[in-house]
């Protein structure tokens, strides 16, 4: 039976932990996995620009013995040039998996509904589960067991915030989202995370004061204030989000050994200062590198 990777909530805690174990094993020694996806091809559909997502999926499947084919917006235009249904029915006959990086989450849901092959969510406007996998892999490597840890996300309650809440709730990590009033995470996402947290005892909360949010945080995380598709709001958001900048003063309010995280790309001088992102506390490039290993584990788990 085919399995899709649209959201971490579709997997059990044990399944997620197993993927982390596979990712760490691959990172240590890829050789045993180097032919695991031999002869298999993944279509990479990217409607949004990408550095990390495209590179890590492209390189990742090759390191597992498979191939990738990149399909740009010029080739794929959901609902315009061709319907999602027809795209799914074509590609399921040509490739063994699809990674989709798109705007509408419905595109990913529909593609998974119609295709008989595995669909991996490489980013939608609702969630970014592959990023969360890399993030929690990084936290696990640097902080050890998840239980008792606190992550504070500072900024817009966006797709990254949603996925951090979801996976944190499943793994037993307390997650606080600190955002301006009116920019909180989607209510459904928050409630789903709270429901998942019941099994692990994790605390999921949303606050409007970043200073309160980062108290006792083991990890402080931020993202751009205006995501792709929100460029017209950039100037207004800069004013609203200015008090939520992650700078040395805010980091000082977290635990002394707190790490700084960012999904990248970063707008230096906006959501984070140079002195924080370039500090010894920053693990942003470690985190970016872990996209490769986390996603290899996802591909291996779904496509082998």
Enumerate the active-site residues.
101, 128, 131, 223, 263, 291
CA distance 147 to 151: 11
CA distance 303 to 13: 20
In the three-class reduction of DSSP (H, G, I as helix; E, B as strand; rest coil), residue 101 is classed as strand
Q: What is the DSSP letter of 246?
A: B
* Nearest CA-CA partner of 136 in 247, 224, 11: 11
Alpha-helical segments (H) within the chain: 13-28, 52-63, 84-91, 105-114, 129-143, 159-171, 187-197, 210-213, 234-241, 248-251, 274-277, 284-303
CA distance 194 to 243: 27
Given the structure tokens 């496509």, which residue do they identify? 303
Region at 169 (left for phi over 0; alpha for psi -120 to 50; beta for the rest): alpha
CA distance 31 to 64: 9
**In the numeric block, which tokens belong to residue 261?**
């995280």
Given the structure tokens 């074509």, which residue do they identify? 90
Residues 237, 276 contacting (CB under 8 angstroms): no
């Amino acid at each position: 039976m085919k399995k899709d990777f649209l959201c971490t909530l579709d997997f059990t805690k044990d399944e997620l932990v197993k993927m982390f174990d596979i990712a760490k094993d691959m990172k240590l020694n890829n050789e045993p996995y180097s032919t695991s996806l031999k002869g298999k091809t993944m279509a990479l559909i990217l409607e949004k620009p990408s550095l990390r997502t495209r590179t890590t999926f492209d390189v990742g499947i090759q390191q597992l013995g498979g191939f990738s084919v990149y399909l740009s917006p010029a080739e794929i235009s959901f609902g315009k040039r061709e319907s999602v249904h027809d795209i799914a029915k074509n590609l399921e006959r040509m490739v063994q998996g699809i990674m989709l990086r798109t705007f509408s989450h419905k595109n990913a849901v529909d593609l998974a509904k119609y295709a008989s092959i595995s669909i991996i969510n490489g980013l939608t406007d609702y969630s970014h589960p592959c990023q969360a996998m890399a993030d929690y892999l990084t936290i696990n490597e640097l902080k050890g067991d998840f239980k008792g840890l606190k992550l504070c996300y500072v900024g817009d309650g966006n797709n990254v915030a949603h996925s951090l809440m979801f996976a944190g709730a499943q793994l037993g990590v307390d997650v606080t989202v600190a955002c301006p009033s009116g920019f909180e995470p989607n209510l459904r996402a928050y409630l789903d995370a709270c429901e998942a947290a019941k099994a692990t005892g994790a605390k999921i909360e949303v606050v409007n004061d970043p200073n309160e949010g980062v108290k006792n945080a083991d990890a402080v995380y931020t993202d751009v204030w205006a995501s792709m598709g929100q460029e017209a709001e950039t100037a207004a958001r800069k004013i609203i989000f200015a008090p939520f900048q992650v700078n040395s003063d805010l980091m000082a309010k977290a635990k002394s050994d707190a790490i700084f995280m960012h999904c990248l790309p970063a707008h230096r001088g906006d959501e984070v200062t140079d002195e924080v992102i370039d500090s010894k506390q920053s693990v942003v490039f470690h985190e970016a590198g872990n996209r490769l290993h986390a996603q290899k584990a996802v591909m291996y788990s779904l496509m082998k």
